[in-house]
Structure 1
Amino acid sequence: MSHPSHRDSICLEDARIIEHHAFPGDQHIMRLQAPRCAAKAQPGQFVHLTVDPQRPLRRPISIMRASADEGWIDLLYKNVGEGTALLAARGGGEYLSVLGPIGQAFQVREQRPLLIGGGVGMPPMIFVAESLKDSAHQPMVILGSEVPFPFIPRPSEILLPDMPDGVIASMPLLDDWNIPCRLASQQDMPGVHQGYVTDLARLWLDALEAETRAQVGLYACGPHPMLEAVVRLAREYDLPVQVSLEEFMACGVGGCAGCSVEVQTENGPAMQRVCVDGPVFDGYRVF
């Protein structure tokens, strides 16, 4: 069994809950004081945390932001079962056992990254965007949700003439970073595109000059049908694409192989573990 190099950087620490906020749609954002994890976290990685002392089985949650200087990480999760319900009940000042950062991170190589996040797949895209805000790369971010967004959308100050009329809502944090962002949903939200994230992605790509479009790479995290659609879009425009998969994980460190998926390799199909061989994969190798 292979031994990914990043496994040597995984830390185990007791992290204190600094902030814990609830949002509509049973969504929560938790900030943890986890200095060892924060110092090494990269966009696309996740943590495996104990939600309650009575529940030894950990839950994997993507890292949305990390501050190496201040020693904290932000996690966005949705309350979907017993484990996350217990996590949602935890309050400020309490401690959680955190294993991380885990997994292969996104590797941004293109000058014009197009970041697409759906639902609880939004956090890695926010992390990638923040990592690029002071770089030569110029990201475009498209976020989608079928429940209210875990932030209050506001009209963007960054004009994008290729967007449909009225599609002006953005994530305030991204707007503050001067990173263009637009939102998509089928729930008829003000300022939000009524449709799929890939619809907006197509409009943005079509508006680019051919030379600029050739510098675009797609990066995505979200539900499997969305990721499949993103890879189809990338194939149509002949662009590179990286996707982050979200699978149920038991151990989180590659020991149980319970999160294995089929990936196309140079030697044919092979089963690889999402937790350590991923969660970020070349989209063409997975779909």
Structure 2
Amino acid sequence: MTHFADCARSIRTTIIENEWIAKDTRRIRFLAPEMAASVVPGQFFMIRNPAGNDPLIGRALALYNRSPAPQPISSQSPAPPVDHDRSPPAAAGWIDLVYLVKGKLTSSLAKLRPGSDIAVWGPLGNGFPAAPVDHLVMVAGGIGQTPFLTLAQEALGNAKFGDAGNRPMGYTPQVSLCYGARSQEYLAGLEDFERAGVELHIATEDGSRGIHGRVTLPLEQLLQNEQRSGKSVRVVCCGPEPMMEAVAELAARYAVPCQVSLETPMACGIGICFTCVAKVGTTADWDYKRTCVEGPVFDAAEILWH
């Protein structure tokens, strides 16, 4: 059986940007043209600071955004004219990852500056299915919005993904993001989602922006509305496990298909260490599945949360 890890690459590359985008939250951009050309929405990368061995293992971070490398110019095509008055274009073939600065490794990453080296292996995992639907509803809690920007770009027909762009695109006319956080200062990347054409539905626990309460409140409102409209809906979810369990229960109640992207801690990312297993199946017939190779995206109905 071929696993997604079989197609992964391991590189040492250069950081282009490493910026704050919300409280305790940074976006890191690095050059990786081959990875950018093959990654699909929902996959992830293992990343570590190669300057030391503490911590030794890497950290799994979901793809947030990417710029594919430019297509090579045919030798029979005339070279484009050089405009010496213009600044050089930004490097293509980059990948963006978003991370929360809260531990030893991410604190180390936060200190790295453009031009520094970074060790990366990936892309890893199975990614989200590209399934046609009338309304794709993405549900995020905490840092869980990170897998969804590229999914929205693909679903709305703004970008192609996969080797040679072999994934379908433009398979839904409407994408919403239900995004919950402790307060508005933790909301990261809202402008990116708005530029992609995503409808935002915000919930904060302190009421500083959007609905005062949990992210399941705007989600249930959307599901109720679409149940009355007769539109087909698919839910995808990422965030803290109790939130994902609550979202899975709501989706089941409204008979809506739901996929969850698990945030199980990983050590190797390639299925060797078995530290990231999740219980999948039914209470009578279940098995452990490795989040890094059989996931991180699973059908919510298959997850045994307890």
Q: TM-score, normalised by structure 1?
A: 0.87
Q: How does 1:98-117 map to 2 (within 5 A)?
A: 98-109=120-131, 110-117=133-140
The equivalent position to 2:52 in structure 1, one of 38, 51, 54, is 54
User: Which has the larger Rg?
Assistant: 2
Alignment-derived partner of residue 180 in structure 1: 199
The equivalent position to 2:292 in structure 1, one of 244, 260, 275, is 275
Alignment-derived partner of residue 112 in structure 2: 90
Alignment-mate amino acid for residue 111 of structure 1? D
Contact 1:14 / 1:97 at 8 angstroms: preserved in 2? Answer: yes
Q: How many residues align?
A: 265
The CA deviation at 1:262 is 0.9
Alignment-derived partner of residue 202 in structure 1: 220
Q: TM-score, normalised by structure 2?
A: 0.82
Alignment-derived partner of residue 244 in structure 1: 261
Q: Which has the higher contact order (CA 8 A, sep 6+)?
A: 2
Pair 1:23–1:85, CA change in 2 (3 A): same
Partner of 1:276, secondary structure, is coil
Contact 1:51 / 1:84 at 8 angstroms: preserved in 2? Answer: no
Matched, 1:76 2:95: no
Contact 1:52 / 1:87 at 8 angstroms: preserved in 2? Answer: no
The CA deviation at 1:209 is 5.0
Gaps of 5+ in 2: 70-91, 158-169
Alignment-mate amino acid for residue 131 of structure 1? E
Alignment-mate amino acid for residue 226 of structure 2? L
The CA deviation at 1:265 is 6.4
* Distance in 1 of aligned mates of 2:42 and 2:227: 29
Alignment-derived partner of residue 119 in structure 1: 142
The CA deviation at 1:113 is 1.1
Alignment-derived partner of residue 63 in structure 2: 63
Higher mean displacement: 108-117 or 74-83: 108-117
Alignment-mate amino acid for residue 239 of structure 2? G
Contact 1:121 / 1:221 at 8 angstroms: preserved in 2? Answer: yes
The CA deviation at 1:211 is 5.4
The CA deviation at 1:85 is 0.6
The CA deviation at 1:60 is 0.7
Alignment-mate amino acid for residue 221 of structure 2? L
* Distance in 1 of aligned mates of 2:143 and 2:197: 23
Gaps of 5+ in 1: 153-170
Higher mean displacement: 262-271 or 10-19: 262-271
Pair 1:136–1:45, CA change in 2 (3 A): closer
Contact 2:24 / 2:186 at 8 angstroms: preserved in 1? Answer: no
Alignment-mate amino acid for residue 97 of structure 2? L
Higher mean displacement: 83-92 or 124-133: 124-133
Alignment-derived partner of residue 161 in structure 1: none
Contact 1:119 / 1:222 at 8 angstroms: preserved in 2? Answer: yes
Partner of 1:207, secondary structure, is helix
Would you identify which runs of 4 or more consecutive aligned residues in structure 1 move more than 4 Å? none
Alignment-derived partner of residue 166 in structure 1: none
Q: CA RMSD in A?
A: 1.9
Partner of 1:122, secondary structure, is coil
Alignment-derived partner of residue 160 in structure 1: none
Alignment-derived partner of residue 186 in structure 2: 149
Query: Deviation string for 1:177-200 (max 9, x for gaps)?
Result: 22211211112224x211111110
Alignment-mate amino acid for residue 35 of structure 2? C
Partner of 2:26, secondary structure, is strand
Alignment-derived partner of residue 157 in structure 1: none
Pair 1:136–1:269, CA change in 2 (3 A): closer
Partner of 1:80, secondary structure, is coil
Identity fraction in percent? 30
Higher mean displacement: 82-91 or 65-74: 65-74
